[in-house]
Structure 1
């Protein structure tokens, strides 16, 4: 004991100052955040667990987020707070608040910071100042005249996709998403990069994008992985790095093919020069942007952009399998435009697809491809009787906004006529935001809508969806990642239209 006591005493003398310094640092940390705690205490929400916040309520990760948000807004309508570790998140479905947030605050916040090294410099996730420059660089590649010039290309790939359904016509249900995504990917090869898709085996890269999205979301829901030191030690980082390099090789192969083609064709026309990847390559050659940024931005545009279009198209076919009366009305509209002709759609035809347009919009209302958008608040802002303090992260849960009964009567009902002009006028701005809103909205949404109308109209002129693996939209559980998808896939059965030929 005579030996142990001095050792204990000396250790206490050593650790006491460290403990005091720790307490002082902890006090200073929380003192600097006092207004965050004060104002957040006025906002309703579930009680947080120390250190982890409310992450314990989403134990199933990506599979449980949709249910969690739905239950959260049942208990706390319009506005609610949650904590993810030390970060305060406020979610709102109030259109007035959404418009203010999306217009006034353009930095996307912590979730996107976790994408550093992957999508962090892309338009989807870049810090504000970098985003402004990137948007300026990319804007010319999505002007409406250039997008309209892609009609024939979209029609070509829509016809190829449709022809491939002969093998499953009248047989058991098939998950339509992989073949639709191949269609949008192939069309993207030609429209965004002017590359023959047969030269690029894109299918081997698709699973990589899925996994990257899954890992980055898992990082968000694991507070320790927010710290770079723990993330660097995680096997998930090694996995996502490998997948990232693999998918970059796909984009690099496109660039190599385009460079080879350009050396053989000195008379490259102006339209080709404005295509997305060609334009980015020219900026790279002129040293206006770094090459690794070209690879990063191209992955978002090519893989994630085409994934969003494929998800909307697949969801629409699911809906048509649930509601045959909706499909009948589409068929009547297409008959009025095309009759029995199997000619390709023109831009004028697309403008006449008004009911189909409303069906797509109603699908994106009930099954939005983007589950949420986020913003970081860099100054105190008043939302009605609440104050969001500096440092708050705001989540806009798009699916919950699209189901508010005060703006969408009988919100679970699928009704395309909600998007008749007179009905649209009745609703406030930001009650419908499938592509976000304001300056940081989706730059390619017009490109996506045009491709979707051509692909869907081409398919539905040849085939009828007879069933889906869901009886109603309410039966669908969603896997929430960068793009939301039904957990049980997009399975439909089809049969040939009688006006063509029978299966």
Structure 2
């Protein structure tokens, strides 16, 4: 039998061995990252604690991200760094640097990798090699000719949306955003899939989407949940899996409906544009065994809820802005009257193309309130940017919201001025000083689709109503939180007045 002294001595030796091995592991880990630390030391940024980095600066989580980015670029130069845990994040608002980063580096990095298991194949998060293949597959479904064929569908759903408010004029709405999102989702069902929106329980679906985004952001801002061992034990993962399965069942229902065999007559009468619609095209690729079924589900989830949600955010934000600045509405009214007169006819493509001032208002809204306030990239080699080196394995934050407020390119940047987007003004600014849809080959595939839908929905609504006020006096009053997309914490409340014919 071992004596107490021998047990104690053996345990001390074991502890010492573990300590030596751990210390050796830490030394090897840091030695391999020595150039990361070296180049990072040359870039300005906030104080970082060992292991935790500057996570204390984002303790508010999704509700403090916008303020965090704003404070960073107020306190530090246009190129900076921040440590979040052991990960180095570098960022810049210099357009020439952004152009290089967004053109050369297409991998989206750790933020999107945390979504693995949900969006691992979809355009938003796929590894570069897979993304290239999928983007090539999907490009035909967003060509301009096909998008322009959706004018009548967008108009139909714009009228349904407009009709909802005929009995609520003069009263503050609870929050216009859910109704706007329902409109963009319903239009998406017909344009992207050629199915009736009635097959989706819209409110249940949208609340599920909102919670999925909330959980994903909670994971990102909780350092321990970055590790799969802790994430797999978290009740958040169980909830996310349940919600994901629930929303996938909606997509599957839509796919099943579209796969019902058509009669010969139906096939003969089927428009070419219908065959090339987003989900129809993906189902066809799946039948040809060019893409797996799980990919069809993942890509559909992203396109149907993130795609329609970003449009809904911009539309809701624009209505808020019109409530803050009545002079904008007057100019929009004049433009719409010059196009339609007293007619209540549906807009044509030619009409939409004449809505130049309305388009400038939408673009200025996206400048100050971009629905996606930042995107990420990962660099796989050292990148020399002026006096700095963004080191290999660093994560890059592209701070869209901060780029859009650079006074060098946007004089009096907090002022809402649609005329910044007059052609002669736009020509003065460098490439990548305005990037609401990102930039380069990995930009937003649906930006033309979104802009067309927004112009039709807004023009239809504003021909019937006037926005009298909103729950904000200025854009600076809006406190934003970020659940994948950025929204104001206090919602989108406006007062609507019926126009007199």
TM-score range, shorter chain: over 0.9
Aligned to 1:274: 276
Aligned to 2:199: 199
Q: How does 1:327-476 map to 2 (within 5 A)?
A: 327-476=329-478
Q: How does 1:153-232 map to 2 (within 5 A)?
A: 153-232=153-232
The Cα shift of 1:154 comes to 0.3
Aligned to 1:138: 138
Q: State which drifts further: 427-436 or 191-200.
A: 191-200
Aligned to 1:295: 297
SS of the residue corresponding to residue 379 of structure 1 reads coil
SS of the residue corresponding to residue 342 of structure 1 reads coil
Deviations 1:438-464 (A, max 9, x none): 010000000000000000000000000
CA-based RMSD of the aligned residues comes to 1.1
SS of the residue corresponding to residue 431 of structure 2 reads coil
Aligned to 2:237: 237
Contact preservation (8 Å) 1:174, 1:493: no
Q: How does 1:89-104 map to 2 (within 5 A)?
A: 89-104=89-104
| TM-score normalised by L of structure 2 | 0.98
The Cα shift of 1:116 comes to 0.3
Aligned to 2:484: 482
The Cα shift of 1:3 comes to 4.4
For the residues of structure 1 that align with 2:316 and 2:76, how far apart are their CA atoms?
32
For the residues of structure 2 that align with 1:236 and 1:413, how far apart are their CA atoms?
40
Deviations 1:384-425 (A, max 9, x none): 100011001000111110001111011000000000011001
The Cα shift of 1:6 comes to 2.4
For the residues of structure 2 that align with 1:359 and 1:301, how far apart are their CA atoms?
25
For the residues of structure 1 that align with 2:350 and 2:466, how far apart are their CA atoms?
24
For the residues of structure 2 that align with 1:263 and 1:42, how far apart are their CA atoms?
68
Deviations 1:74-103 (A, max 9, x none): 001311111111110011111111111000
Deviations 1:462-501 (A, max 9, x none): 00000000000000010112111111100000001122xx
SS of the residue corresponding to residue 469 of structure 2 reads strand
Say whether residues 1:53 and 2:35 are aligned partners. Answer: no
The Cα shift of 1:263 comes to 5.3
SS of the residue corresponding to residue 166 of structure 1 reads coil
Aligned to 2:249: 249
Q: State which drifts further: 351-360 or 78-87.
A: 78-87
For the residues of structure 2 that align with 1:119 and 1:477, how far apart are their CA atoms?
29
Aligned to 1:121: 121
Contact preservation (8 Å) 1:168, 1:174: no
For the residues of structure 2 that align with 1:468 and 1:261, how far apart are their CA atoms?
49
For the residues of structure 2 that align with 1:261 and 1:470, how far apart are their CA atoms?
52
Contact preservation (8 Å) 1:173, 1:468: no
Q: State which drifts further: 393-402 or 164-173.
A: 164-173
For the residues of structure 1 that align with 2:199 and 2:498, how far apart are their CA atoms?
31
For the residues of structure 1 that align with 2:93 and 2:257, how far apart are their CA atoms?
46
Aligned to 2:39: 39
The Cα shift of 1:218 comes to 1.1
SS of the residue corresponding to residue 426 of structure 1 reads coil
Deviations 1:149-188 (A, max 9, x none): 0000000000110011112111233311111111101100
For the residues of structure 2 that align with 1:381 and 1:171, how far apart are their CA atoms?
55
For the residues of structure 2 that align with 1:345 and 1:293, how far apart are their CA atoms?
36
Contact preservation (8 Å) 1:45, 1:82: yes
The Cα shift of 1:261 comes to 6.0
Q: How does 1:99-114 map to 2 (within 5 A)?
A: 99-114=99-114
The Cα shift of 1:5 comes to 2.8
Deviations 1:225-245 (A, max 9, x none): 111111111111101000000
SS of the residue corresponding to residue 108 of structure 2 reads coil
For the residues of structure 2 that align with 1:389 and 1:173, how far apart are their CA atoms?
50
For the residues of structure 2 that align with 1:57 and 1:481, how far apart are their CA atoms?
18
Aligned to 1:305: 307
The Cα shift of 1:192 comes to 0.3
Say whether residues 1:7 and 2:14 are aligned partners. Answer: no
Contact preservation (8 Å) 2:172, 2:493: no
**How many residues are treated as equivalent by the alignment?**
498
